[in-house]
Chains A and B, each alone.
Chain A
């Protein structure tokens, strides 16, 4: 399935059974951790900074910079791995945890060493029940082999790794909601500041780094091969490979690990085997349900994919969950479907999101039932705009995106549903 032979993350494609510890170590596994333990924590952070690694959870925040925010003077610190993976159309982290789990454990421990964390918690969405239980076994193996837990690799440094299962709430992917959830509370986002990296803002109020699974899975490679090697992959501003989760109307949906800078066209047609039934592609959701939906013009199809590349179309790369819709797709229906997701998942903490998602859904239902007029469509757009920029966390912005972008980019699809 792979392309240019460079699988930093999905190494199972090159090495069979790499999920087994002995296979993993035979193929260079935990060398990154050992190397990191020979470096000063600050040096590790410098390497990650220099590599230009950016967060794969959606926001693309520079990882090394995030680690450097942790106040070293605090005695208790945590690394929390965001394995909530609940964004519509995202299914990349699960594959990492199933097929290359030790690389995540290793990456998380390198992060833990870099910030001198006292423990690592891997927060998995509740549906990853089987994944979590398998991961527990891998962690145990790693501990037995001296790569986790007490006195790691003989360094004298200890750090336990734990998994924690959520229980069905998309919002727990938002890092502060995740921390609340991990503390045994409702998964409702916290007010920032303080930020997770600050005292008072993280897990149990201690400074905490929260990173996505894919982000951390990159780290061992960077430590072993160096920042310069890493920067050679991808674009100027987006280094390395990215896993693209391709789904919807394509012949070969799946995860594709590719360097930043490839185009939608390459992704859909070279890797994804083209659109199902030979149809034309009409629209793309480049970043799962939460990003604006865009029309699949030639210009769009030929744009290099990177954090910086999609902004000119008013969209984002986010977690790179690329959902393809063919020419027969009713975009009003898409808007309604995605809005239902957000209505279902709104945590309810803040007014515009709680009320807005409920209201949008109601009016979209009327559109789909053929009972609406143009002013209802305008109302949807207006209500969605009123949500944006006013909510406590980015969920509210996400939730408004589908309605706004579909009405803007595909007005005719709505007209079809209106009362005469």
Chain B
């Protein structure tokens, strides 16, 4: 139960706003962190905390792309392929990355379940293209060589030498 497990954090969030409904977005992040993606269970719990019908919460989760409606790999890689990045070779980078991870579809996950790769719109890092976000943290000025190094590091992290970076 989110309400118990994250009680202190939730209390802090609720204190920020005169209207509890405003807490829906931060609470959805917590729920996503807890359950890995947006689940019906999480929606119902968030709804109870802010005193809204679950429909309102699901509706919000549906509108915003950073709430993942499907399970994702441990590392959720969002590669910017919007115009400025594309002008700097982001399309190729994105294709190479997918190939390297043996992912065929946009938004697909690598066979080992570690990496989900999707392309996204401008991330406000156009001067550092190609770039991506890994579990919401920016990784910039990339090429495949640097990328492979990052991937190796994340693999090692996932293998247990380090705890994986939190999604949220």
Q: Which residues of A contact B133 (CB under 8 A)?
A: 127
Q: Which residues of A contact B24 (CB under 8 A)?
A: 184
Q: Which residues of A contact B16 (CB under 8 A)?
A: 162, 164
Q: Which of B83-97 contact A (CB under 8 A)?
A: 83-84, 86-88
Number of B interface residues, CB 8 Å? 41
* Cβ contact within 8 Å between B126 and A253: yes
* Cβ contact within 8 Å between B25 and A91: no
Contact surface of A with B, Cβ cutoff 8 Å: 85-91, 93-94, 125-130, 162, 164-170, 181-187, 204, 245-249, 253-255, 285, 289, 321, 323-325, 329, 334, 337-338, 341, 344-345, 347
CB-defined A-B contacts under 8 Å, sample of 18: A88-B122, A88-B126, A91-B126, A94-B125, A126-B64, A127-B133, A129-B168, A164-B26, A165-B26, A170-B121, A182-B22, A186-B63, A247-B87, A248-B126, A253-B127, A289-B83, A321-B126, A337-B82
Number of interchain pairs (Cβ within 8 Å):
139
- Taken together as a complex, chains A and B put the C-alpha atoms of A219 and B121 apart, in Å, by 31
Q: Is B50 part of the binding interface, using a Cβ–Cβ cutoff of 8 Å?
A: yes
Q: Which residues of A contact B138 (CB under 8 A)?
A: 127, 130
Given A168-B64, A345-B121: A129 in contact with B87 (beta carbons within 8 A): no
* Cβ contact within 8 Å between A245 and B126: yes
* Cβ contact within 8 Å between B83 and A337: yes
* Cβ contact within 8 Å between B25 and A169: no
- Taken together as a complex, chains A and B put the C-alpha atoms of A187 and B24 apart, in Å, by 13
Contact surface of B with A, Cβ cutoff 8 Å: 16, 18-19, 21-26, 28-29, 50, 56, 59-60, 63-67, 82-84, 86-88, 120-129, 133, 136-138, 168
* Cβ contact within 8 Å between A341 and B127: no
Query: Across the two chains, which residue of chain B brings its CB closest to A325?
Result: B87
* Cβ contact within 8 Å between B84 and A168: no
Kindly identify which residue among A127, A183, A337 contacts B19, using a CB–CB cutoff of 8 Å.
A183
- Taken together as a complex, chains A and B put the C-alpha atoms of A338 and B56 apart, in Å, by 31
**Beyond known contacts A86-B121, A88-B122: 12 more, CB 8 A cutoff:** A88-B121, A94-B125, A130-B138, A164-B22, A164-B26, A169-B65, A184-B50, A248-B126, A325-B87, A338-B83, A341-B121, A347-B63
* Cβ contact within 8 Å between B50 and A167: no
- Taken together as a complex, chains A and B put the C-alpha atoms of A126 and B16 apart, in Å, by 17
CB distance from A246 to the nearest CB of B (A): 7
Q: Which residues of A contact B60 (CB under 8 A)?
A: 184-186
Query: Across the two chains, which residue of chain B brings its CB closest to A249?
Result: B87
Q: Which residues of B contact A85 (CB under 8 A)?
A: 124
CB distance from A144 to the nearest CB of B (A): 17
* Cβ contact within 8 Å between A204 and B19: yes
* Cβ contact within 8 Å between A89 and B84: yes
CB distance from B95 to the nearest CB of A (A): 15
* Cβ contact within 8 Å between A89 and B63: no
Q: Which residues of A contact B136 (CB under 8 A)?
A: 126-127, 129-130
* Cβ contact within 8 Å between B122 and A246: no
Query: Across the two chains, which residue of chain A brings its CB closest to B26?
Result: A165
Kindly identify which residue among B50, B64, B121, B124 contacts A91, using a CB–CB cutoff of 8 Å.
B124
Which of B82, B83, B127, B138 lies at the interface centre, i.e. has the most chain A CB atoms within 10 A of its CB?
Answer: B83
* Cβ contact within 8 Å between A204 and B18: yes
Query: Across the two chains, which residue of chain A brings its CB closest to B61?
Result: A167
